[in-house]
Amino acid sequence: MSKKTPLAVVILAAGKGTRMQSSMPKVMHKVLGLPMINWILNTVGFLKPDKTIVVVGEGMDDLIAAIAPHEYVIQHAQMGTGDALKAALPALKGFIGDVLVVLGDMPLLNPASLERLIAARRTGADTGISVLGAQVGNPFGYGRLLINKDGTLLAIREEKDANDNEKLVNIVNTGAFCLDSRRIERWLLNVNNNNAQGEYYITDLPEVAAKDNMSTRIALVGDPREVCGCNTHQELVDLEAIAQQMLRESFIDDGVIMQDPASVYLHYDTQIGAGTLIEPNVYFGGGVVVGEDVHIKAFCYFEGATIGNKTTVGPYARLRPGAEIGQEVRIGNFVEVKKSVIGHRSKISHLAYVGDAIMGADVNFGCGAITVNYDGFEKHQTVIGDGVMIGSNVNLVAPVALDNGAFVAAGSTITKNVPADALSVGRSEVKVRQGWAALNRKRKNINK
């Protein structure tokens, strides 16, 4: 077995995002709820690199915190991608192997595409560089990859420099490169800034390498949507839409049924089991895990919740962080559950609030019932055993416990523990005054 070639990754993330009109570094803007830089770090993590270096700008403390514990270097004077890679050279000192260079604002890159890029660099001893390309329908605005007859790269031609024939090329540069570490420093020294921007670009490296009798190979991404980046808020909106669509397609391929996929909003860490049916207008925030064969009805909002197999939720239900819903449970319309465990086959059918509770199996939690969990200073827990029947419009004032099989009459306010199989009634005495309503109406008419 051949020895594994060491791999270092350099992520270029120093861009200030000036066109986004934001004080936040560009790569800290979120896609599917996760900063773009963390997408890239997760992606390159699949490659198990020997070291990962992130190039940041001055004063980007939030970015530095977000990439911890990965190594970072500062690009002090931001003068292009070549200058950014040059800033990483001290961190690469003594490293022998492949150096993968990726942009920090391409969150949808697939590890498989990067593996192809690395494999292309290792094609032969005369291959010094590989470039990741994408075949697109409309190449306008992109740098074109001009290819020799033998499949190697001739040059990367920017839109403004391309002639009419070159503009017809639809294989474009994505900004990702893989380079032989032993030659990077020397090649970068031969990159000049004789361009309109007065900056140094890594796109010049293939031509520099050619003068060193080293060729550049091309690898293509599996899906052109992987290499969508953003420089403006509108492009961030477009990127979010693409990411949402790609994630929806992945779930649908895995057996999730969406009646109106475009109206379902997903989070980067959403998990949904096969056979689950999702009706329109459902929002998944962070940390949501949905089992198999679940039915999620329209207009539901979830965050930090777990939903068991064959459970029905909604419409108009909200599951907040810490909601752990068991199997074959029914959560109905206008029900909110927060930091509570709901046992198998229990029913909370409508107009209810359950917070800071442990509910057993086969419980019926009636319409308008709530757990009164907050005393103005602290939250308190409600414990409900198996098979408990809770009538409509019940207030369970925590801390309180209802043992197995207990029955709470409708309209009750319960402040004491209820034993197993006991009936608990907490109502005020009803007083009836015959004729009072008629006399009251008569008094009002006299006063008019």
The token duo for 1 is: 């077995």
Per annotation, catalytic residue among 295, 344, 350, 380: 350
Query: Which residues lie closer than 8 Å to 86 by C-beta, 6 or more apart?
Result: 188, 200
Can 344 be counted among the known catalytic residues?
A: no
Residues designated as active site: 350
